[in-house]
Structure formats: C-alpha cells, structure tokens
Amino acid sequence: MARASKSKAKSNLKSSSKSTSRKTSKAVAPKRAPKSVPAPRPKPIDLYYWSTPNGFKISIMLEECRLPYRVIPVNISKGDQFKPEFLAISPNNRIPAIVDPDGPGGKPISIFESGAILQYLGRKTGKFYPASERARVEVDQWLMWQMGGLGPMAGQAHHFRIYAKEKIPYAIDRYTNECNRLYGVMDRRLADREFLAGKYSIADIACIGWVSRWERQGQDLKQFPNLKRWFETMLARPAVDRGIHLKAEDAEKVDMKDGAVQGVLFNQRAR
C-alpha cells in the first residue's frame, strides 16, 4: 500500500514539472496520494439453520459467495421453529431463513423460503444468478422446479419410506415413483449441458442437498448417468462440500422415529 502511494506521488511530480512553464521557478508541490482506507468488513448474515436439504441450499450459497455468516441453530425437533422470535422472521415456521444486516438501502432485511433467499443472495452478489433476462429465466425455471417438485416429493418419499410408523404401500410407491420420474427429468436435462441452466447456478445449489439423499428416496443413481455425473461434479466443489456438511449442534443426535420428535414435526395444525 505504502509503495503504491509513493510511486503515485513521484509520477505526479514528474508530470507537474513537465507541464509547468519555465518562467515559474517554484515547482508545483505534488498532490498527496489519498490515504487508502481499508474497505469495511461486511457484517455477517444470520443464518437460521438446521442440517437438512433445505438448510444446505443456503449454507452452500453463502460458502460459494464467501459471505461471512453466523449460524443460528433452530432445533426443529424440539419446536424452536414455533418461537415467536423465529416466526417474526419465518412466519411459515420452517428453516432456512436469513437476516442480512446490510440489506437494501443499507438496512437489515429478513427473508424466508429458500428459493427467495437464493435469488436475493444471487442478486446481492451478482453470483450464480445471471442478470440477463434469458439466462435468468433458465435458472428460475429449474429453481421453481426444485421448490415445487423435487423438494416436496423427495420430502414425502423420506416421510413415508423412513419416518412414518405405519408403512403405507400406496404412499411409498406414489412418492418413490414421483422421485424416479423427477430424476429422469433431471437426467434428460443434463444430457447436453453441464449444469441445469447451462452454467453453474442457484438452481443446481437448490437441488444438490435433495439428490444427495437419493438412497432414502429409493433411487439408484446408476439408472441416471447424466445426473450421476452432475452429482459427482457438484460434490467435488469445495463450497458444496462445506455447505452440505455444516452441522447444526445436536442435529445428528435427533432420532426422527422418537415419538416426542414426531409429535413436534408430524402433527402440526394451524395455531
């Protein structure tokens, strides 16, 4: 830094002596280079999080964008998602949610729904969410496909295949088949492009956590060679690896078959 300021001062001196008329005996004093002020460190984003495929979307995106963040665990197995302070940020009582202290106009903003958070962070950083309308529509289609299709269907497959105490063949088949169909859609899409929207984007970030649970959904990636190739490319990205392995305290210790946990998660009605 000091070096750069010195050389700037020197070059100012040179040019000023050249441009100064001979009649002027005094050399024009070189302008002082402005002192460089270090850019303020961005304030961390609060990530309301639990280690689940919807949570991973945001931990991956924050890692990819190298944004500083603090994890605020929301233990959904114990009912933290119903606490009034969390509902003020996430009225649907679901993780993930964020609070960005440096939102639009420099004021804090809170956001719930993982798709909306990904789009916001994409716009904020200009990363993984292209600005051109045509390219953005490509990303949005596949992001919405994940939000309305892959996520909910895979979630139901997990529920009926693994968590439900009663094994209901109709429900198990319904959601296992639907996941299989959706994997087929993804596989065809990835036959002639590396990522869902061509270039790596928030659409891929939205899907990876769900596909990483393929076994729980009763699928076999060998049946989907293009999807398998995408999956391996995704997992090889260091930020994806970090994001997908971000642990919320105690999350692994939760037994989803425990009656108390099921009582919190699977019997929710309007409050």
Ligand X SMILES: N[C@@H](CCC(=O)N[C@@H](CS)C(=O)NCC(=O)O)C(=O)O
Residue whose CB is less far from ligand X, 117 or 186: 117
Q: Determine which residue in the list 51, 54, 59, 156 makes contact with ligand X, applying CB under 6 A.
A: 54
Residue whose CB is less far from ligand X, 224 or 248: 248
In 107-160, the DSSP E strands lie at 109-112
In angstroms, the CA 241 to CA 39 distance is: 29
**N- to C-terminal Cα distance for the chain?**
59
Instruction: Tally the C-alpha atoms within 13 A of residue 25's C-alpha that lie toward its C-beta.
Output: 0
Q: Determine which residue in the list 114, 119, 176, 201 makes contact with ligand X, applying CB under 6 A.
A: 114
Residue whose CB is less far from ligand X, 118 or 224: 118
Q: Is the peptide bond before 96 cis (omega within 30 degrees of 0)?
A: yes
Rounded to the nearest whole angstrom, what is the least distance from the CB of residue 13 to ligand X in the complex?
59
Rounded to the nearest whole angstrom, what is the least distance from the CB of residue 126 to ligand X in the complex?
23
Give the pairing of strands 45-49 and 69-73.
Answer: parallel
Taking residues 91 to 110 in sequence order and writing x for each that binds ligand X by CB under 6 A, - otherwise, the string is: --xxxx--------------
Residue whose CB is less far from ligand X, 94 or 237: 94
Residue whose CB is less far from ligand X, 159 or 228: 159
Part of the chain binding ligand X (CB under 6 A), chosen from 52-60, 160-168, 185-193, 247-255: 52-60
In angstroms, the CA 13 to CA 155 distance is: 69
How many residues bind to ligand X according to rule CB under 6 A? 12
Part of the chain binding ligand X (CB under 6 A), chosen from 49-57, 166-174, 183-191, 224-232: 49-57
DSSP sequence for 44-102: PEEEEE-SSHHHHHHHHHHHHHT--EEEEE--TTTTGGGSHHHHTT-TTS-S-EEEETT
Rounded to the nearest whole angstrom, what is the least distance from the CB of residue 112 to ligand X in the complex?
7
Residue whose CB is less far from ligand X, 26 or 269: 269
In angstroms, the CA 173 to CA 177 distance is: 6
Taking residues 55 to 94 in sequence order and writing x for each that binds ligand X by CB under 6 A, - otherwise, the string is: ---------------------x----x-----------xx
Q: Are 113 and 89 within 8 A, CB to CB?
A: no
In angstroms, the CA 111 to CA 127 distance is: 18
Write out the binding residues for ligand X, residues 167-226 only, by CB under 6 A: none
Query: Which token pair is 73?
Result: 């665990």
Give contact residues for ligand X (rule: CB under 6 A). 52-54, 76, 81, 93-96, 113-114, 265
